[in-house]
Structures are given as structure tokens and as C-alpha cells.
Amino acid sequence: MSRPVLIAPSILAADFSRLGEEVRAIDEAGCDWVHVDVMDGHFVPNISFGAIAVEAVRPVTKKVLDVHLMIAPCDPYLEQFAKAGADIITIHAEAGPHLDRSLQAIRNLGKKAGVSLNPGTPESVLDYVLDRLDLILVMSVNPGFGGQAFIPAMADKVRRIKAMIGDRNIDLEVDGGMTPQTAPLVAAAGANVFVAGSAVYKGEGVAGYRRNITAIRDAAEAAQCMSSIKNLFNSLVAVVAGSFASAAYAGTLAELGSTGFSDDGAYFAFEQYGIQDGSGFAYASFTIVDVKTDSWVPGTPVKVRLDDETLSASQARSAVRKQASGLLAQYGVKSSNGVLVVHNPASELSADPENVRFLPVKSTMQSGVPIEVQLDAFELSAGTECEVHGQTFGFRLLLSVPGKVRILHEDSRIPKSRGCPLAYRIDQVYAHRLNNRDFVLAIMLVMNTPGFEGPDGKYLAFTTRMTW
């Protein structure tokens, strides 16, 4: 069962000249904890608060004071922070010679004990202290300064630590670059406490702080819920697969045919085809996407269905290609433009359907800045006509390079053209190199919708231009 989502604004981002007011404001705005970053200018390259500041803040709020000691050595100061009013004292794994002893000392002071891991610190340091812990804090930026960008690789680290925690009564906290866009990445991985500094304090007063806290909380809870649903679904699938191992696959998955870009990368085209579930009729479609707007060009998708069970999918492909030939010429799309850089097929049982990491070039030298695409599905109504099928889902696509994350797509509603989407997965990624630095990417998703004999799969394309 997932632990409750807790938002812990970092007062490092507050207005220090009005610290008491700022703490009262986030308390009134609905924070769960108050996060206090203590820095010594030695363990990290900055100086912030000391025990006196914690003591001054303590009477201002009854919320949990989550004190994060970025100091070394930490042992001589534990009692000071305990007496100052800290409820949780978190130390870094590297901040003293004897981690286990330090954690015992914190608990002996009557406080909850936490350990923090820097981005480069392996989770293996937790192996022999897990039963001493109430909290694990994963730094998703390098400690020392606020306002840094989230490091995407930390989501995998959170996932591994969550597995180590198991059923222990330990909160899993993430600190660094937390926003409504990044919090879902680590919430889905198992985190339940989110430290946000500038993302909370960028607002104006209580109302602004409340909006910011609510936005992070809602995004994290949605991701947490989807993760739980996915885990339950996977468990059910495993049970069904084990019970009916010899059963035939129900529903149909479209085949992805010809794809390509225009020379200038302004347009991307893809073809899909197959035999319709239920009717047995062959179908095919051709879609051209305007990369700048990430939308279909007028006149597409071109669709063909051959209402004759004796006709094949290849015949439907021939028919749709003929109809689309003029549009392909008009927009200058060529199948020779673009390379397949990710292939993540549904038949690959070890593939991650929601995350791919790749280089946008084919080369024997595996070097360069990696690109990561994360798919996060969330419950979203597709209209009353879909209610008979149960839950329907929208999604967001996050594209990241080290130190930078951006939203490539996020549904606010489900377009009628999708029908009643039940699930999504990343299937393929194509890249078209424009020059030494600029690329166009086309990310191909498979969307499952209700079919006659089971879920059917059709392709969606999402495009973007980027500098690598």
C-alpha cells in the first residue's frame, strides 16, 4: 500500500528577512512538513541555518520540522538540533565515520532518524542500517544550492530504494528540482515525501503557496495512484497468464509500416495497417504530422478499409499509399529520412513500456548526451460513451537530457479520435539529423482501445525538434 503524499517546503527558498511569516504562510497553505536545510560551507559549498534558527522556527508551527543536516562531522551537533525542536534529523551517509552509531544517537535523543544520499552515492550504503531508519532522503540535485534542475536518473534510484524498503515503516523523500512536472517521476517510483523550495515560494503569499503545494501534491498523488493501478494490473495479468498459458492472444495490434521525414524535418509521416478485430476486414492509414505544431496536416490521416474478408492487409496498404501519394509529394516526406533509434516492441517481455533512454544517432561509439523519454499515464475521462469500458487514461510525455526536463505532451482532455484509451506504451523512436546539432524526433506510442475480442492496439506519433 502506498504511503500518504507529504509536501515539505524548504525554507531555504523563503525570504530570510521574514522567516517567521514565511513559515506561518506555508503552514496555512497546507504543507505537511517544514524542511530545514542546514549547511556548513564545508560538507556543501554554502552556509545556511544553524540550531538557533531551528529553535526560532519551532514556536511558529506545529508541523513536523524535517531538519536536513548537510554538515560534517554531524555527531557533535545532533543534540543541539534535537533540543532546538527538530522532529526528524537526517544526516548524510558520508557525514561521519560511523553511520549506524549516528543513527542510534538520533533515536536515543527521541527523534526520528533519516539518512540522505547524494546523487553519486550508491544505495548499497543502506544495506545494514535500514532497520535504524525512519526516513531515506534521495538528493535529486547536488546539495548546496537551491533552484537546481532535477537529475532524471534519480527516479531509477528511488525505485531501487523503494524495493529495498519493502514493508518497513520508512518514508522515502526526494529533494531537488521538485515541481508538478518532476514529482510524478519519483512518485511513480515509490517516493512519498517531496521537498520543494522555489517551486513553492515562487508564489505570492498564502494563496500562491497553497496553489503551488496543491499542484505538486495532486501531480504526485495521480502518479502514485497510476503506479498502484499498474502494479495491480501487472499482477492480474501474471495470474491470468499463468492460469491460461495456452490461450490465444485476443484483440489485434496494428503493424507499423513506412515512416519518414521531410528533408528539413518539418513533417513526419507514418503508416499503420492490419486486419480489424471482429469484422476481419483489412485496413490501413497514412498520417502526416506537422512537427512544429505536433498536429496532423489537413487531409490526414488518409484511411482505407476493404469491406471484403478475402482481401489482405497488403492490398489495403497499396490502396492507402495510392491515395496518400499526392500528400507525400506535397510535404516532401521520404522514407529514407530518419533512423530507428529505439525499438521497444510489445513482444519484448523485458522492455520498459514507459521509459526509454537513447542516443539520436546510430554509431559504434556509444557516447554523447543521452536522451530519455518517460511516459506517465493518468486516469482521464473520455466521455460517458466510454464508461462501459471502465477507466480511461490520458498521458504526459517527459523528454529529458541531463539537468533538463520538459513536457513534450500532456493531455488535458482525450481527443475523440482516440476513442476509449485503456493503456499506452512507448514502442519506437525515430530520429532525423538536420545538422551537427539539430535533430527531429518522432516518438511512436501504442494505444490500447476496446476491441471485439480484446484490447486493440493502434499507433500515435509525437514529434519534436531539439538541439543535442
**175 among known catalytic residues:** yes
**37 among known catalytic residues:** yes
C-alpha 258/C-alpha 286 separation (Å) is: 9
- Grid coordinates belonging to 462: 509525437
The single residue of 37, 40, 66, 427 carrying the catalytic annotation is: 37
Nearest Cα to Cα of residue 133 among 99, 174, 160, 85: 99
C-alpha 6/C-alpha 181 separation (Å) is: 16
Q: Residue 147 — left, alpha, or beta (φ > 0 → left; ψ -120 to 50 → alpha)?
A: left
The single residue of 171, 175, 277, 376 carrying the catalytic annotation is: 175
C-alpha 10/C-alpha 388 separation (Å) is: 45
Alpha carbon separation from 27 to 172, 378, 383 (Å, rounded): 21, 29, 38
SS3 449: strand
Residue whose C-alpha cell reads 543521452 in the numeric block? 370
Alpha carbons within 13 A on the beta-carbon side of 104:
5
What are the backbone dihedrals phi and psi of residue 256, each rounded to the nearest 5 degrees, phi first? -90, 120
Burial class (CB in 10 A: 0-12, 13-18, 19+), 304: buried
- Cβ distance 224 to 39 under 8 Å? no
User: Which residues are tagged catalytic?
Assistant: 37, 175
